[in-house]
Amino acid sequence: MARQDDSAIKKVDTTLVAVLDIGTSNIRASAVNNKGEIEAEFRTRLTSHSPTRGFVEFDAEKLFEDSANLLGRLINEKACSALAVTNQRASTVVFDPETRKPVCKGQSWQDLRTAPMCLALKASGISLSPNQSASKISLIMDLFDKDRKLGLAGGTIDAWIAFRLTGKFATDHTNVAMTGLVEPNAQRYDQNVLSRLAIPMQSLPVIKPSIGEFGTANINGIKIPLVAMLGDQQASMLGQAVTVPGRAKATFGTGAMVDMVTGVEGPVSTQRLPNGTFPIVARSGKGEFLFGIEAIGLHAGSAIEFACNNLGVASDPPQLAELAKEATAGSTELFVPALTGLATPYWDFGALACFVNLTHSTSRANLAKAVLAGIAHIGAELIAAVEADSGTELDSLSVDGGVTHSLLFLQLLSNLSQKRIHVSAANEATTIGAGLAAHLALGSIGDVGELDELIKPRVTVQPEPSFERKDLERAKENWAKAVQISRNSVPELSSVTF
């Protein structure tokens, strides 16, 4: 696979860039101006399939076709000077670079089929999670090219999209750091891991800065430079002006993520930190290389959808949020959203979801509030874990994501975390952040310091004065009891750690 040097980026006077945002559930193509505003958007659902327990797959070819079609529609409507890509991280595609086609379905970051492989590797001194890309690439190559003679290529969604749009197979530091394939500083592949997994170096994408030159995309005959690629959470950080050490943001979308910038000093290991967070690369490029840490909650919006679609608590998420306002004052019902286990700080894959404290007087409204309260408790624990593993106390943080449309949820989160919550003005901070990264690459935004002036919160929520210390202690005790019921429900899974 040929690797060519890219030409230097030329500064252009532009106010509009295209952003391709590939999430877990949706694909969006948007035009973002240099004020951090979306001027046009096209979207479609991204469907994944679970053929059996622990398997989560997607059609990589259809993902590309849908992405290209959305970009084509966008560029026909809006003249964009550059392109940025942001994406769900660690989801994996293995393909034949000659035919430009995937050899099989892509494996989602949620896919756990390589858990036995990861456990075997751990016994031999290599610690990988089945959520990471490393074991996924190895397994697919074992199935379709056991002798490694076909020259298959494997990488994350950003690299797959970059290859199909530009012909150049490249990824960035924020994405490659989540694969399990690189050294702790995320700047080089780990030769020991590659050797043990029998993944040839030439089968992997070139690692480049997040803000920089990735080649020229050809979209329906229109050529446009690809100048930024970031993982979704890192793009969200830029979209909420979380750019300097000590700042943090939380995203409550399908899952829940809390990310903090820690500084220029990289981690000594890629392994999980004592309170259940992981080191990440916050961004690279424009003379910067910043690291951070991330706390992970597996379910937020997905818990609300479960309550609506599976349990019939409400017809849809907006109705659930409205219904929750009618809950009995002082209601103590809670939902532990461990639909596929608990992540930070517990990392208990054997935990099961549960409602607790139900009585004859429990109503649908109380159940609705219980779901929002459970997600808020998860959020408060993620915040506490980031503070503990970074040694930094936050007085506030920015939040985005669909769940944050509920003012009741925001108040619960503020009360339980005892933090000021700055709510993003943009519904899609990830898309905005990727667009701002492209503007930084082009020079139409001069420096990340300018983002503070561009990005202002829609509203700030403060802890309620009436929610006293005794109320907080009682709420945390209630939550701890609920989590205790949830945990170790499937002992053989609870005993597994990655």
Give residue-wise pLDDT tens across range 167-204.
Answer: 999 999 999 999 999 999 999 999 999 999 999 999 99
pLDDT in the model for residue 2: 37
- Give the percent of the chain with pLDDT over 90: 92
Residue count of the chain: 498
Q: pLDDT tens-digit profile of 315-335?
A: 999 999 999 999 999 999 999
Q: Give the per-residue pLDDT at 497.
A: 85
Looking at residue 13, its pLDDT comes to: 40
Model pTM?
0.93
Architecture of domain 16-230: 2-Layer Sandwich (3.30)
Q: Output the CA–CA distances (angstroms, integers) from residue 335 to 212, 430, 467, in the order listed.
A: 44, 28, 21
Amino acid (one-letter) located at 15: T
Residue 324: predicted pLDDT: 98
Closest among 162, 201, 206 to 187, alpha carbons compared: 206
Of the pLDDT bands very low, low, confident and very high (cuts 50, 70, 90), residue 25 is confident
Question: Is pLDDT at 4 greater than 50 in this prediction?
Answer: no
Beta carbons of 400 and 236 less than 8 angstroms apart: yes
For residue 496, name the pLDDT band (cuts at 50, 70, 90): confident
Residue 335 pLDDT: 98
**pLDDT-derived band of residue 418, with 50, 70 and 90 as boundaries?**
very high
pLDDT tens per residue, range 367-398: 999 999 999 999 999 999 999 999 999 999 99
β-partners of residue 207 are 171
Pairing mode of beta strands 248-252, 396-400? parallel
Burial of 361 (0-12, 13-18, 19+ CB in 10 A): exposed
Q: What is the mean pLDDT of residues 395-417?
A: 97
Residue 97, classed as helix, strand or coil, is: coil
| Distance (Å, whole) CA 218 – CA 215 | 10
pLDDT of residue 14: 59
User: Is the pLDDT score of 290 beyond 60?
Assistant: yes
